[in-house]
Amino acid sequence: MNIPPLGVVLAVAVAGAFGAVLRYALDITFNAAAHRRAGSTAPAFPWGILAANTLACLLVGWVASWATARGISMDLATLQESPALVVAVLIIGLGGGLSTMSTFIIGAVSLWRGRHRAKALSYIGLTIGAGLAAGYLGTLLAG
């Protein structure tokens, strides 16, 4: 098994941490009103996680398309070279830290179990639709 150099791993880790903090900030910002309503029993619609996942899809679509058009791969042999490293940091690190399948699922299940079935289905549909649209838009923006 080939292992990337420590510098690559650390760069991806730092970008992943930044993506996770950005996701948290988006979640708190978009759901600030719901978080302040301590007495609310209805689960809030997870707009922050929807925004984070959509932004991650836009970023990954843009970077992946940009890299592909320039023949840049994230092959382990070229990963230490500047363009491939930047692509790996943006896609795997930042995009991976920003996006979250587990929190998406928890939000949908929480809405469903709270008998907010229409909200749950809307959230699932919006997340998938917005992610696909954002990823496609990213490819268009890359040229």
Q: Where are the domains of the chain?
A: 6-35+45-141
- Is 122 assigned a ligand-binding role in the annotation? no
Entry pTM: 0.89
- Is 82 assigned a ligand-binding role in the annotation? no
Q: Cα(131)–Cα(126) distance, rounded to whole angstroms?
A: 8
Highest mean pLDDT, choosing among 33-37, 67-71, 122-126: 122-126
- On the question of pLDDT at 11 being above 50, the answer is yes
pLDDT band at 38 (very low <50, low <70, confident <90, very high): very low
Q: Cα(62)–Cα(102) distance, rounded to whole angstroms?
A: 23
| Other C-beta atoms lying within 10 Å of the C-beta of residue 123 | 22
- On the question of pLDDT at 135 being above 80, the answer is yes
